Chain A
């Protein structure tokens, strides 16, 4: 994570404005990449000295941030031969047993190891910072990719210093909520038409804690897959609270693309239904529905291509009984009158547990797309 002094930003009316890298920065990013490539396998201090003319007295924190990101990307080089730790043990113990001129001590150890004095001197601290050789950067890292990585590091460093966030989003909401919950965060729906998620940690109730900063920062690459998002976070910078706003289109790289389906069961159902009922559009991940302070994410929406009818389909698959109970509670709270609920027979849900207005299809191993199509009323 970028340390605070490297976060390139300005503050306008209490709002943090991150200084993202853009095309105008590509020339100096290219020269930084060249410096790192040329320094491969040479001691780190050579590169530090080479970089000094980029960074000494540098007012642009973006340069310092790019250097920081590059150091993190460098791969570790092969271990030094002879092993520095072994050389240190020999040299310092020899120095303790026969104190005197260090040159004589080094010569004695060199003889023992069958190496030159220069090799022993070089190996002595060859694994320590500034002395160890610079590794190589990941293959194919371009100045454009580097700019995106620096921007991501910058935005994440700001979120790392945040106490909680609110995000209005369209598309990929399910993946964002799931990721937030996996990170131990609470998601709470604040308002209606476009759902606004308030995301924070349980302890945030008691004080403006930064303990969830790491978890909050990991949400950002997930948001990059949303069709649209607008995020607002409260950050603590230089001891002051600031507002951070990030929107769709900020220049950051997305996380790995979210999987189209949660399971093979769902993928197979979508394929079967498209084949059986071609007059219905099968929409994966429709707009989430607010229910009881949280969001319900139906697995599918089915829209008729001509008459405008639509249904929501929820597949309650093989999960723990507590999960199914919680899901059914949310569905009951949502009071959906166009819901088709496909439920695993093995769960043995009684009729009383199911949402009263839902049509129910029970399945075993595979959801019968024909049974669902029959409920659509064609």
Chain B
């Protein structure tokens, strides 16, 4: 019997008489090629099944000349990082490690790569993180570090790829790696792009996240793809020791009369449509509503009104004044400002001359801006989404959350940007909220999400 890698799958050839190929784990008969086929991620299970039954087989899945990675430099771990690595090893080198933002998840991944000494593929969600991971791995790995994404196509024994590149390329490279590391693993499990993990043969799998997936069926699906949560710590477990202490201040702001009138008009228009749909389909999701609304004139007007209302509260006149005053009051602080969208980020950048970090800013300029912030040549950065996740932001003391639309997960990630510890540091988060708007319920959900992970104070 022969196992061959075929574009993200395993082909089972030359099945000996007496063995039912379709009894092998994950195998289906493929009439298109007249052979048995299994998803690539079943490779280890296939091997184990055949060995358990003493069926001789040739494993020709890995390409010829696949080399092991070069050596790794000494990687020092904090006690909780060592514990996370140990838990992952005990879990059969499969599973998700949940650690708060700023606690060094990348370090755990590097230690896992050094410990396994296997060809490893690291998946990251954005091009910004791609660059950051390549640099972090190059510092500790003696050999070259490959890169897939952002216009680069270099595959090495240790390679970093964006989710998007992995989704497109896994059919070609899925047999080259024995260890798969997924940063911000909560992006998977929802069905979209899960193939990137299914089409890889790697038996050892490590997921990293600060905000694990708890909703079903995504949680079960992610467990199938990466393994269960093997280690979990929240912000509260590390604040004061490995993470800075944190204060949250919410500023409740009023809309100006003309803003209030425009807002109420738009929200009224939207709510009428929403209420009508809720009567028709009480349990339908927002996506169902959006699809339904897009089909009628009134529905489209409602959606447009909703967008206008959100745009309005994203950066109201009261928020503009508050940002101005806070920046003036905190002349020595390093400040991160978070907005709901790029438009608001550019508005802040123009009015307050704060450097924006958005997806439109190129890599070189972004790196220069982060270096300037680190060295104190810039005192503030404003961003809608770029700073939300993973990116290694230099030490900051204050965050001003002007707006956000992605809920609890986004908020936890944003607050995590401030938690890098320093002696006597007390991080401060200002949340700007427009009274009697949709923001109030969003903020309640955000705070509830953070409370679950926040320091437990007596």
A351, CB-defined interface residue at 8 Å: no
- In the complex, are the beta carbons of B7 and A214 less than 8 A apart? no
Q: A169-209 vs B: 1/0 string, CB under 8 Å?
A: 00000000000000010101000000000101111011001
- In the complex, are the beta carbons of A105 and B195 less than 8 A apart? no
Q: Compute how far the CA of A138 lies from the CA of B168 in the bound complex, rounded to whole angstroms.
A: 30
Write the chain B residue with the least CB distance to A89. B368
- In the complex, are the beta carbons of A92 and B354 less than 8 A apart? yes
Q: Compute how far the CA of A59 lies from the CA of B380 in the bound complex, rounded to whole angstroms.
A: 43
Q: Which of A93, A97, A206 contacts B28 (CB 8 A)?
A: A206
List of A residues within 8 angstroms of B369 by Cβ: 89, 92
CB proximity of A16 to chain B, nearest CB, Å: 15
B6, CB-defined interface residue at 8 Å: yes
B355, CB-defined interface residue at 8 Å: yes
CB proximity of B224 to chain A, nearest CB, Å: 13
Write the chain A residue with the least CB distance to B353. A95
Question: Which chain B residues numbered 30 to 69 have a C-beta less than 8 Å away from chain A?
Answer: 30-34, 37, 39
Using A128-B346, A202-B7, A205-B37 as known contacts, say yes or no to A186 and B377 having CB atoms under 8 A apart. no
B297, CB-defined interface residue at 8 Å: yes
Using A92-B354, A102-B351, A128-B346 as known contacts, say yes or no to A211 and B378 having CB atoms under 8 A apart. no
Write the chain A residue with the least CB distance to B304. A57
List of A residues within 8 angstroms of B172 by Cβ: 184
- In the complex, are the beta carbons of B32 and A198 less than 8 A apart? yes
Q: Which of A95, A96, A129, A205 contacts B30 (CB 8 A)?
A: A205
Q: Compute how far the CA of A197 lies from the CA of B322 in the bound complex, rounded to whole angstroms.
A: 64
B372, CB-defined interface residue at 8 Å: yes
List of A residues within 8 angstroms of B294 by Cβ: 5
Question: Which chain A residues numbered 230 to 255 have a C-beta less than 8 Å away from chain B?
Answer: 238-239
Number of B interface residues in the complex (CB < 8 A) = 51
Question: Which chain B residues numbered 278 to 328 have a C-beta less than 8 Å away from chain A?
Answer: 287, 291, 294, 297, 300-301, 304, 327-328
Q: Which of B8, B342, B354, B362 contacts A85 (CB 8 A)?
A: B362
B350, CB-defined interface residue at 8 Å: yes
B76, CB-defined interface residue at 8 Å: no
Q: A100-141 vs B: 1/0 string, CB under 8 Å?
A: 001001000000000000000000110111000000000000
Write the chain A residue with the least CB distance to B11. A202
Question: Which chain A residues numbered 4 to 21 have a C-beta less than 8 Å away from chain B?
Answer: 5
- In the complex, are the beta carbons of A92 and B346 less than 8 A apart? no
List of A residues within 8 angstroms of B301 by Cβ: 57
Tell which of A89, A128, A206, A293 has the most Cβ of chain B within 10 Å.
A206
List of B residues within 8 angstroms of A57 by Cβ: 300-301, 304
Q: Compute how far the CA of A214 lies from the CA of B8 in the bound complex, rounded to whole angstroms.
A: 16
- In the complex, are the beta carbons of B377 and A202 less than 8 A apart? no
A91, CB-defined interface residue at 8 Å: yes
A99, CB-defined interface residue at 8 Å: yes
List of A residues within 8 angstroms of B291 by Cβ: 238
- In the complex, are the beta carbons of B355 and A88 less than 8 A apart? yes
B387, CB-defined interface residue at 8 Å: no
- In the complex, are the beta carbons of B195 and A128 less than 8 A apart? no
- In the complex, are the beta carbons of A105 and B168 less than 8 A apart? no
- In the complex, are the beta carbons of A202 and B8 less than 8 A apart? yes
Write the chain B residue with the least CB distance to A188. B32
Q: Compute how far the CA of A88 lies from the CA of B351 in the bound complex, rounded to whole angstroms.
A: 14
B365, CB-defined interface residue at 8 Å: yes
B360, CB-defined interface residue at 8 Å: yes
Write the chain B residue with the least CB distance to A95. B353
Using A97-B377, A129-B360, A211-B195 as known contacts, say yes or no to A202 and B6 having CB atoms under 8 A apart. yes
Q: Which of A85, A96, A186 contacts B379 (CB 8 A)?
A: A96
Q: A339-371 vs B: 1/0 string, CB under 8 Å?
A: 000000000000000000000000000000000
Q: Compute how far the CA of A238 lies from the CA of B33 in the bound complex, rounded to whole angstroms.
A: 32
List of A residues within 8 angstroms of B342 by Cβ: 129
List of A residues within 8 angstroms of B28 by Cβ: 205-206
- In the complex, are the beta carbons of B34 and A102 less than 8 A apart? no
List of A residues within 8 angstroms of B360 by Cβ: 127-129
- In the complex, are the beta carbons of B8 and A203 less than 8 A apart? yes
CB proximity of B36 to chain A, nearest CB, Å: 10
Can you add 5 more A-B contacts, CB < 8 Å, to A96-B378, A96-B379, A125-B349?
A: A89-B369, A92-B354, A92-B372, A127-B360, A205-B32
Q: Which 10 pairs from chain A and chain B are nearest by CB?
A: A95-B353, A92-B355, A188-B32, A96-B379, A202-B7, A85-B365, A202-B9, A211-B195, A128-B360, A93-B377
What are 9 inter-chain pairs, A to B, with CB distance below 8 A?
A: A92-B378, A93-B372, A99-B328, A102-B352, A105-B353, A125-B349, A127-B360, A202-B37, A203-B171
- Using CB atoms and an 8 Å cutoff, list the residues of chain A in contact with chain B: 5, 57, 59, 85, 88-89, 91-93, 95-97, 99, 102, 105, 124-125, 127-129, 184, 186, 188, 198, 200-203, 205-206, 209, 211, 214, 238-239, 293
